[in-house]
Amino acid sequence: MSDHEERVFSGVQPTGNLHLGNYLGAIKKFVALQERHTCLYCVVDMHAITEWQEPEALRRSIRELTAAYLAVGIDPKAHIIFNQSQVSCHAELAWIFNCVARMGWLSRMTQFKEKAGKHRENASVGLFAYPNLMAADILVYKATHVPVGDDQKQHLELARDIAQKFNTDFAASIAARGHGDAFFTLPEPLITGPATRVMSLRDGSRKMSKSEESDMTRINLADDADTIAQKIRKARTDPEPLPSEPAGLEDRPEARNLVGIYAALCDRTVEETLAEHGGAQFSAFKQALTDLMVETLTPIGEETARLLTDTGHIDAVLADGAARARTVAEPILRQVKDIVGFVQG
Ligand code: AMP
Ligand code: TRP
């Protein structure tokens, strides 16, 4: 990898059930991007432990997410699949960013507020500093593009703020060390398409999430055909037929969610989907959606389960990815330390 090409980085937390939101908001896009970019896809296990994880469950989830990356068709030879904790550069740069980012910036993060809730005093320090580690993940590779779901937008803005402040605070040192007038380029978020925020199947005002108690609110990548059919059949809708134009979905969050999911699954726009299904009753549309979902997701679930029977192979993919990730990150981290003023051997 040369220093100036476009480079894609993204991460997913190994915290249990991968669901349709993770797939449409992020992982499906990871697959498409590998055609034209050099990509690093990370299993962010250090982010996972910002909230309590049982060690054996964490180990299983890391392997499961790795298997899912492979099952959707990410090529681990042409690109890099690895887990964060095997590349210590992330943690080292995150510490430096802990000293660049301001308390006030992090206090405004809505995800921290949501996750810490009323128990703020009892949240881990890691949960508060989480976005600094995320900025380090991206910037330690000088990644240029970051595909994520809509809920990560604020964290990416913070990563850009950190990059900018680092460039400004250290401007003289950056210039003196021959890096010109900026060391980090600001990473671009890629938050596009009809399913950047997939909602709960039971409540169109809530995000589909791994932490939601009822399994009926989400489709998991591991669900079998019958489970998918049952969840879609029971998904909340309204009594009207589908409109033929997107404007007709306003104030109909559940309908909008299902149409967005359908469109994203078959790589069409909401307009195209409504041109085809406008006027249909939900009973018919739900059947079409179930068929499409079963066709797309069940092979991924089955392939993930198959790959998981050989943990030796999974662990080898991660070790190889980590070794290659280090060759990109180490020189960049070295330059950062030099800019900051650390003496290195
Ligand atoms: P996480 O599981 O929190 O690590 O999320 C992994 C990726 O999935 C991130 O890019 C998220 O933005 C994305 N994601 C999570 N939930 C949803 C959702 N309901 N809709 C769209 N994208 C999502
Ligand atoms: N915070 C992201 C999430 O929960 C995961 C993540 C960690 C990430 N590091 C990243 C995403 C770097 C993109 C780039 O979804």
Catalytic residue from among 28, 29, 115, 142: 115
Token pair of 222 as six digits: 């591991």
Q: In what order do the strands lie in the sheet with 145-147?
A: 80-83, 38-43, 7-12, 145-147, 188-190
Which residue in 28, 29, 142, 207 is the catalytic one?
Answer: 207
Per-residue pLDDT tens over the stretch 164-196: 999 999 999 999 999 999 999 999 999 999 999
Q: Is the distance from the beta carbon of residue 138 to the nearest atom of ligand 2 less than 6 Å?
A: yes
Domain holding 245: CATH number? 1.10.240.10
Average pLDDT, the chain: 97
- What 3-state class would DSSP assign to 79? coil
What 3 state SS string does 120-165 have?
Answer: HHHCCHHHHHHHHHHHHHHHCCCCCEEECCHHHHHHHHHHHHHHHH
Say whether both 125 and 103 belong to one domain: yes
Spacing, Cα 178 to ligand 1 middle (Å):
39
Q: Annotated catalytic residue: which of 153, 165, 210, 337? A: 210
Task: Tell whether 331 and 299 lie within a shared domain.
Answer: no
The ligand whose atoms approach the alpha carbon of 24 most closely is 1
Share of the chain above pLDDT 90, in %: 97
* Position 206 in a domain: no
Question: In terms of Cα–Cα distance, which of 204, 307, 302 is closest to 249?
Answer: 204
pLDDT at 3: 45
Q: Rounded to an integer, what distance in angstroms lies between the CA atom of residue 83 and that of residue 234?
A: 37
| C-alpha torsion sign, points 174, 175, 179, 181 | positive
Domain contains 251: yes
Whether 203 maps to a domain, the answer reads no
115 is catalytic: yes
Q: Assess if residue 345 is contained within a domain.
A: no
User: 196-206 pLDDT, tens per residue?
Assistant: 999 999 999 99
**Residue 207 bears catalytic tag:** yes
280 and 144 belong to one structural domain: no
Looking at the structure, tell me whether residues 234 and 118 fall in a common domain.
no
Query: Is residue 30 in some structural domain?
Result: yes
Q: Does a structural domain hold residue 204? A: no
Domain count of the fold of the chain: 2
> Would you say the CB of residue 242 lies under 6 angstroms from ligand 2?
no
Can 210 be counted among the known catalytic residues? yes
pLDDT tens digits, one per residue of 47-82: 999 999 999 999 999 999 999 999 999 999 999 999
228 and 266 inside one domain: yes
Cβ atoms 72, 31 nearer than 8 A: yes
> Is 208 among the domain residues?
no
Nearest to 186 by CA among 153, 164, 165, 169: 164
Domain co-membership, 56 together with 35:
yes
Does the pTM exceed 0.85? yes
Residue 1: its pLDDT value, please? Answer: 45
252 shares its domain with 321: no
| Domain limits for position 263 | 215-306
Rounded CA gap, 156 and 150, in Å? 10
Q: Is residue 117 part of a domain?
A: yes
pLDDT score, position 17: 87
Is the same domain home to 98 and 244? no
| High-pLDDT (> 70) share of the chain, % | 99
Q: How far apart are CA 49 and CA 124, in angstroms?
A: 9
Ligand 1 atom 14, closest CA: 22
- Per-residue pLDDT of the chain (345 residues), as tens digits, is 444 479 999 999 999 889 999 999 999 999 999 999 999 999 999 999 999 999 999 999 999 999 999 999 999 999 999 999 999 999 999 999 999 999 999 999 999 999 999 989 999 999 999 999 999 999 999 999 999 999 999 999 999 999 999 999 999 999 999 999 999 999 999 999 999 999 999 999 999 999 899 999 999 999 999 999 999 999 999 999 999 999 999 999 999 999 999 999 999 999 999 999 999 999 999 999 999 999 999 999 999 999 999 999 999 999 999 999 999 999 999 999 999 999 998
Residue in this structure with the two tokens 């596009």, named with its chain if needed: 192
Q: How far is the CA of 60 from the centre of ligand 1 (A)?
A: 19
Are 156 and 251 in a shared domain? no
Same domain, 52 and 137: yes
